[in-house]
Amino acid sequence: MTIRALIVDDEMHCRENLAMLIQEYCPDVQIIASASDAASALLLIEEHHPDLVFLDIMMPKTDGFGLLENIENRTFSVVFTTAHSEFALKAFRSNALDYLQKPIDISELEQAVAKVRDRIALKTDSGDVVSTIRKVLVEMGIGSGNEEMSVPTRDGLEVVRYDDILRLEASESYTSIFLNDGRKFISSRTIKVYEDHLPENQFCRVHKAHLINMKFLKGYNRTEGHMAVMRNGDLIPVSRRKLSILLDRIQPF
């Protein structure tokens, strides 16, 4: 039995690495196509009707969860691929979602494919994935349509409103979240996770290490380098690549 599969991931090296592992260790899985975003994936799903989709969760614009919520009659199995923290993985496990943690472990890949193979042979389905996803989103505090999120910190969880966030700053695999009232939290999620899920019309990535809330932007200063000036006086460096994006946001005309 051949399992026809689609890989969806916004990072090319992740798509290529997973395809290589599948080819070598799961010979009964045929990769029929791959996509770098949800819109392309939706078209490929409609065209190819795959048996299995390896789906990255964190993608720009529409994430993996959003993709599934746009499919009314799902006929394929789903294995999520994620670089999430242990906090998020606990939510997947407790809700019985199939997932692979990046970097992909070969034995875990083989086990995930075996589960899919058994479901196909028995003609059973993994259940109402969309409803399960909504439960996971609530537990994770992201993408649930609320204007607040749960931040996994070293001490547990902290619920933070979008409007209270002044800025976010990356430090290796952690993110410091600075609030307008002066408080600061250190999260175990990367800054890219927050960039993908915070509202685009409110937050702007001005540097590889900095994401700011435009609500608290006071202006732009170029006398001492390219700096975003926040209302509390913080000066945030703006990279050359991001400068035009910031200027377009503050000079729309």
Point out the domain boundary residue: 118, 140, 162. 140
Six token digits for residue 253? 């005309």
The Cα-based distances of 230 to 178, 187, 247 in angstroms read 12, 22, 15
In order, the DSSP letters of 182-237 are S-EEEESS-HHHHHHHS-TTTEEEEETTEEEEGGGEEEEE-BTBSEEEETTS-EEE
Say yes or no: 112 and 10 in one domain: yes
Paired sense of beta strands 52-56 and 3-8, if any:
parallel
Point out the domain boundary residue: 140, 157, 186. 140
Say yes or no: 111 and 219 in one domain: no
Cβ atoms of 175 and 163 within 8 Å: the answer is: no
Say yes or no: 72 and 195 in one domain: no
Q: What is the pLDDT of residues 91-102, one digit of tens each?
A: 676 665 788 888
Cβ atoms of 247 and 220 within 8 Å: the answer is: yes
Say yes or no: 15 and 59 in one domain: yes
Q: Report d(CA 8, CA 178) in Å as an integer.
A: 33
Identify the domain containing residue 49 by its residue range.
3-140
Say yes or no: 36 and 104 in one domain: yes
Point out the domain boundary residue: 117, 140, 163. 140
Say yes or no: 226 and 193 in one domain: yes
pLDDT, tens digit only, all 253 positions of the chain: 899 999 999 889 999 999 999 999 999 999 999 999 888 999 999 999 999 999 987 776 677 777 887 787 788 888 988 876 555 666 676 665 788 888 899 999 999 999 899 888 877 666 566 667 666 666 555 554 457 777 766 666 778 888 999 999 998 878 999 999 999 998 877 888 888 778 777 899 999 999 999 999 999 998 878 999 999 999 999 999 999 989 888 865 4
Say yes or no: 179 and 136 in one domain: no
User: CATH number for the domain including 211?
Assistant: 2.40.50.1020
Say yes or no: 101 and 212 in one domain: no
User: CATH number for the domain including 17?
Assistant: 3.40.50.2300
